[in-house]
Structure 1
């Protein structure tokens, strides 16, 4: 079958690969659409725990052999440890991720544990299906922040995750949402999606700030613009440097919350939310063009905001 394969630092290629075989407790999914994630762009450019050769892709949906439309939750927790017992399977010490530790959705077919499948309602658009996984990240981050209806919310970064944070906060009753991004194109999209202001840098004071970039500078900004007692939720993974004034954090009794992935309830909530979203900022390309699109984004292109590959 055809698949886009991470073959080495900075390189993805379209290749013919072996057909996957579904083992016990697994289901073969015929991929219809799969999203390119910023973490994959960074992971290929600066390899770490993704080991080539690898068929990546953790944001995908497709059909089973019996014709069911499904979306895949790629987080595989052990289900038996102390963290899983606490409902924290997303940070299970033994967790694996489809598309990271085992082949994912950047191919025509993939075998996944049957437990990862959510059957989609009739008429669920495939574009929306591929956005469920990034949307679940935003649902989880909003929940960590306390789902504060009436809050003043700042979002740093108007990529897919930042826009999802905007949309989730709006559906959660935020009083005002401001989005910061360097790209004029992305700021315009944020405004169209309902941001009360779309700016190059946050300038107000906020109850909650979502950092969907993860650079040292955005870490610092997320805290400097936070009111005393407020919460900064970090979703971005760009840099390892913290970059903030720890003394100011203590004196202002501010909170920094790391947000990684989501739980089953967050994923289910995303399935219910996404069909109502304006997804005009999502662009689709044939899987065969995947390596070219991926490489362009990896090398700094700001458009498209979200690229989906269709089989």
Structure 2
């Protein structure tokens, strides 16, 4: 079968690969749509725990052999540890992720555990199905912020995760949502999705700031723009350096929390939310064009904001 394969630093290639062999409890999913994530772009450009050769793709949906339309929750936890017992499968110490630790959805077919399948609701199209996973990240971040209705919300980064944070905050009843990005085109998209302001850099004071970039500079900005007692939720993974003013954190009694992936309830809520959203920022390309699209995005092309690959 055909698959987009991470073959080495900075390189992805379309290749013929062996058919997946489902193990006990696994189901074969015929991929219909699979999203390219910013973490994959970074992971290929600067390799770390993703080990080539690897078929990536952790944001995908498709049909089982018998035709069931499904979305895949790619987090595979042990289900037995103290953390899993608390309902925190997303931060299980032994977690694995489809498309990171096992072959993923940048292929015509992939084998995943039956337990990872979530039914695609009737009426939800494949574009929406392809962005459920990143939207679940935003739902989780909003929950960590306390789902603060009426809040002044700032979002740093108008990529897919930042736009999802914007839309979740608007859907969740935020009082005002402003978003910052260096790209004119992405700011225009954000304005069209309901941002009260789309700017190059946040300048106000906010109850909540979502950092969907994760660079040292955006960490610093997320804290600097918080009101005393506010909360910054960090989703981005661009840079491990913290970069913030710890004294300001203490004196302002500000809070920072990391937000990694999502809980099962967040994933289910994302399925319910995304069907009613404007997804004009999502574009679909044939899997055969995957290497070209992936490489262009990896090298800094700002559009599309979100690319889905369709075998």
Sort the TM-score into its range (normalised by shorter chain). over 0.9
Quote the residue 1:244 is aligned against: 244
Q: What TM-score do the two structures reach when normalised by structure 2?
A: 0.99
> Counterparts of 1:86 and 1:123 in 2: how far apart (Å)?
33
Q: Which residue is equivalent to 1:171?
A: 171
Range moving further from structure 2, 190-199 or 121-130: 121-130
**Displacement after TM superposition at 1:21 (Å):** 1.5
The equivalent residue for 1:124 is 124
| 1:196 and 2:187 aligned | no
Shift of 1:166: 0.3
State the Cα distance separating 1:122 from its structure 2 match.
1.8
Distance, in Å, in 2 between the alignment partners of 1:223 and 1:123 is 41
Q: How well do the aligned residues superpose, as a CA RMSD in angstroms? A: 0.5
Report the alpha carbon displacement of residue 23 of structure 1 after superposing the two structures with TM.
1.3
Tell me how far apart the structure 1 counterparts of residues 201 and 11 of structure 2 sit (CA, whole Å): 33
Aligned ranges for residues 294-305 of structure 1 at < 5 Å? Answer: 294-305=294-305
- Partner of 1:279, secondary structure, is coil
Q: Distance in 1 between matches of 2:303 and 2:96?
A: 30
Whole-Å separation in 2 of the counterparts to 1:156 and 1:301: 18
Hey, what's the Cα distance between the residues in 2 that align with 1:197 and 1:299? 28
1:265 match: 265
Are 2:282 and 1:282 aligned?
A: yes
In structure 2, what is the Cα distance between the partners aligned to 1:201 and 1:271?
A: 31
Q: Which residue number corresponds to residue 100 of structure 1?
A: 100
Q: What are the equivalent positions in structure 2 for 1:34-73 lying under 5 Å apart?
A: 34-73=34-73
Cα deviation, residue 124, structure 1: 1.4
Deviations 1:29-83 (A, max 9, x none): 0000000000000000110000000000000000001111100000011000010
Unaligned runs of 5+ in 1: none
For 1:183-231, what per-residue CA distance to the aligned partner results, in whole angstroms no more than 9, with x for missing partners? 0100000000000000000010000000000011100000000000000
For the residue of structure 1 that corresponds to 2:275, the secondary structure is helix
For residues 65 and 122 of structure 2, what CA distance do their matches in structure 1 show? Answer: 17
Q: Which residue of 2 aligns with 1:158?
A: 158
Mapped to 2, the partners of 1:26 and 1:291 lie a distance apart of 28
Q: Which residue of 1 aligns with 2:7?
A: 7
| Matches of 1:100 and 1:294, distance apart in 2 | 16
Residues of 1 paired with 2:95 and 2:118: CA distance? 19
User: Cα offset for 1:123?
Assistant: 2.3
Alignment TM-score, normalising by the size of structure 1:
0.99
Return the alpha-carbon distance in structure 2 between the equivalents of residues 111 and 23 of structure 1.
8
Shift of 1:241: 0.7
Is residue 2:292 matched to residue 1:292? yes
Q: How does 1:11-26 map to 2 (within 5 A)?
A: 11-26=11-26
Cα distance in 1 between the residues matched to 2:57 and 2:66: 23
> Can you give the 5+ residue segments of structure 2 that lack an aligned partner in the other structure?
none
> Structure 1 CA distance, aligned partners of 2:270 and 2:294?
25
Distance 1:307 1:88 in 2: 29
Aligned length: 311
CA displacement 1:71-108 (0-9 Å, x = unmatched):
00000110000100111110000000000000000000
Determine the structure 2 residue equivalent to 1:88.
88
Give the distance between the partners of 1:58 and 1:292, measured in 2 at CA.
19
